[in-house]
Chains A and B, each alone.
Chain A
């Protein structure tokens, strides 16, 4: 622990040898200090968003406890959902060596929606306790479905001789296919269920498909089991980010050159498998928290890359923070300024122009 502090966290004074070391490592001196300053700025912005989100309610500042207790759960969903998407996009981009890979573009998100639809249709009966129960086990369903989706993509990437283009096109195709299947499922004429159940199920599925906070958040915030599930999801996300941080060096080396990594004694296939598994976990947990937020997973790691350069050690945290802040901003707007707009749509409207700019500006 002490060594960790000395080696990584404590800002070191620049002795001559340290200066040379840093120049060797990063190209110019004072990189770590600059990183810290950037992180503090990002944390400050994040804190401002947090403060705004927690204190302002429908255009007015209020610190009532009754609102705050609900707000804190929404905050948790927004930050950790966005963060999970950011980290998942970061990992996918590293492991496929393609800076346009994302959970939403590769069809994993749509597969999750299909499974959520089937699950809620099958297991929801009228009644509050049942609703809590459904919510409680939802993460398991989404995790297994996204493991399935990631497995498909992993298998395709293996079979497809590691060509990135194929990977992306196949992902887009799967995305459209799953979307069509979910539209065919979600059609109200399709089911013979009772009207109250149908309407509930459709609000739920809409919430997940568009990326909204749960409509019955008031009841959920009072339910112990739901809180427990959410906290477990949050802890899981934190653990995954920790695992990624432990693997940061290996990820960087694998991205740079697989043969080099093999000669260093890294088990490349195992690490790749672990990364895909982590992506599946992150996507599944996130799907049960907010739902689909398109393109966020592309954006967050790319902004992080612009700010920090291409280093896993900083970019894991940076993409987590950027993803969380963007979703938080979108949630703030959707709660206060324009009522009842899904977060997913709002953040997509913010993200897409930047995404287009990002693609056009880059020259191969």
Chain B
């Protein structure tokens, strides 16, 4: 990006003509942006929960449910006293007087909203780290085929042990197989980085290899899906993407969500800590080594973060394209920075917001899954990046 050229000089200024002033003002701006982003994310999530299930439950009822129950245990006695909103025509005595306690729709709405946000964080982290590591402006879990290979892992799990696994541990086995699947593509990126990275291999070549890997795994997924009835449901849901499709795959959905939250927070913290080393690495390996950064460790840790974040995201929302591509680039363009310790957290926030927004759009137009909207944002972004790329 030519517009970001001055930032490199900022780095130099840090080293050689150190100027202390006005740094806090910049960080104040970042903190404000983070705050606004978090508020937007919360509002979108609330809207998603409120208007899921055809807007069946009003804010009043939802507030009552959340204040009296946690989503593990249904407190039936308190639910029986639920003040029903009788002005709402969609409300069919789901709570209260009939004695029938039906938390399932609310559970699903909450799960899907949270899963979308968590997965958005994961894709955005993975996207920014792959962009930094391979020095490739159009790097992304999609263009490297990581999402497709992770989906492949899920399908293989269903083919091999889908019937044998007990329902209680199903999600853990699922997650571990998705990890293995994602590891295939990541191993491949490792090969590319080892063979010389961006200097020897042109970035377009790396991208094309990644796309070819993606097509290959998609093909194999299709073959498995058409020959094996067990894998059909998983393969369809995961290939189409969107939390609303993935929800029905698990028997106890919340355990995988909490697991994903834990993994994702680990990945986010690691990524933010290692962010500045990625920034230095972008200057070139020799310069980074001269500035005291162990490039090998940065690469390994970066790949480990990708290995954690993408499979978790895929197991939550399936194959969602391009979030990792556009989120870091939008942040770079808006804030005019190349510092990864700023790009990573903010792009994670942006990824969460956009995926949640996709879910809102899906709630508005039911026929299009939320993952497709990401392509509608990401593909023009890819075209724009291609357009502004220097030959």
Contacts and interface: CB of A to CB of B under 8 A. Distances in A.
B227 to A, nearest CB: 8
A169 B215 contact: no
Contacts of A338: 223, 227
A59 interface: no
Interface string A159-170: 011011111111
A187 B375 CA distance: 16
A357 to B, nearest CB: 10
A180 B219 CA distance: 18
Contacts of A204: none
Interface stretch (B164-172, B204-212, B282-290): B204-212
B219 A359 contact: no
B222 A173 contact: no
A341 B226 contact: yes
Contacts of A174: 379, 383
Interface in B167-200: 195, 200
Given A180-B372, A340-B226, A169 B204 contact: yes
Contacts of B204: 165, 168-169
A166 B390 CA distance: 8
A160 B385 CA distance: 12
Given A168-B204, A345-B222, A349-B220, A176 B382 contact: yes
Given A165-B389, A166-B386, A359-B209, A183 B372 contact: yes
Interface in A182-234: 183-184, 187, 189-190, 210
A173 B376 contact: no
Nearest to A166: B386
Contacts of A364: 202
Contacts of A24: none
Nearest to A360: B209
Given A169-B389, A184-B372, A189-B366, A363 B382 contact: no
A240 interface: no
A213 B278 CA distance: 50
Contacts of B367: 184, 187, 189-190
Contacts of B389: 163, 165-166, 169
Contacts of A245: none
Contacts of B208: 100, 168, 359
Size band of the interface chain B makes with A: 35 or more
A135 to B, nearest CB: 25
A359 B386 contact: no
Interface in A284-309: 294-295
Interface residues of A, number: 43
Interface string B347-387: 00000000000000000001110001001101111110111
B324 to A, nearest CB: 14
B215 A176 contact: no
B213 interface: yes
A349 B382 contact: no
Nearest to A356: B212
B386 A173 contact: yes
A169 B203 CA distance: 11
Contacts of A177: 375-376, 379-380, 383
B386 A179 contact: no
Contacts of B213: 352, 356
Contacts of A353: 216
Contacts of B220: 349
B209 A349 contact: no
A352 B372 contact: no
A169 B385 contact: yes
A180 B379 contact: yes
B144 to A, nearest CB: 12
Given A169-B383, A176-B321, A349 B216 contact: yes
A355 interface: yes
A172 interface: yes
Interface in B127-153: 138, 143
Contacts of A169: 138, 204, 207, 382-383, 385-386, 389
A187 B245 CA distance: 14
A105 B210 CA distance: 13
A99 to B, nearest CB: 11
Nearest to A100: B208
Interface in A324-364: 338, 340-342, 345, 348-349, 352-353, 355-356, 359-360, 362-364
A357 B215 CA distance: 14
Q: Specify which of A165, A340, A363, A364 lies most central, judged by the most chain B CB atoms within 10 Å of its CB.
A: A165
Interface in A95-120: 100, 105
B219 A348 contact: yes
Contact of A180 (B195, B200, B222, B375): B375
Interface in B223-237: 223, 226-227
Interface string B242-274: 000000000000000000000000000000000
Interface in A40-75: none
A352 B212 CA distance: 6
B391 interface: yes
A352 B391 contact: no
A352 B216 contact: yes
Contacts of A342: 222
B322 interface: yes
A359 B211 contact: no
Given A183-B372, A349-B223, A352-B219, A359 B382 contact: no
Contacts of B387: 160, 166, 170
> Max chain B CB contacts within 10 Å: which of A100, A294, A342, A360?
A360
B3 to A, nearest CB: 17
> Which interface residue of A189, A210, A356 has the most chain B CB atoms within 10 A?
A356
Given A173-B380, A179-B375, A345 B386 contact: no
Contacts of B240: 183
B386 A348 contact: no
A359 B205 contact: yes
Interface string A242-280: 000000000000000000000000000000000000000
Contacts of A184: 367-368, 372
A340 B223 CA distance: 10
Interface string B21-36: 0000000000000000
A190 B205 CA distance: 38
Closest 7 CB pairs of A and B: A169-B386, A173-B382, A180-B375, A173-B383, A177-B379, A352-B216, A163-B391
Given A172-B211, A177-B380, A349-B223, 7 more contacts: A165-B204, A168-B208, A174-B383, A180-B372, A183-B368, A187-B367, A348-B219
20 contacts: A165-B386, A169-B204, A169-B386, A172-B143, A172-B382, A173-B379, A173-B381, A174-B383, A176-B322, A176-B378, A179-B375, A180-B375, A180-B379, A184-B372, A187-B368, A295-B212, A348-B216, A349-B216, A349-B220, A352-B213
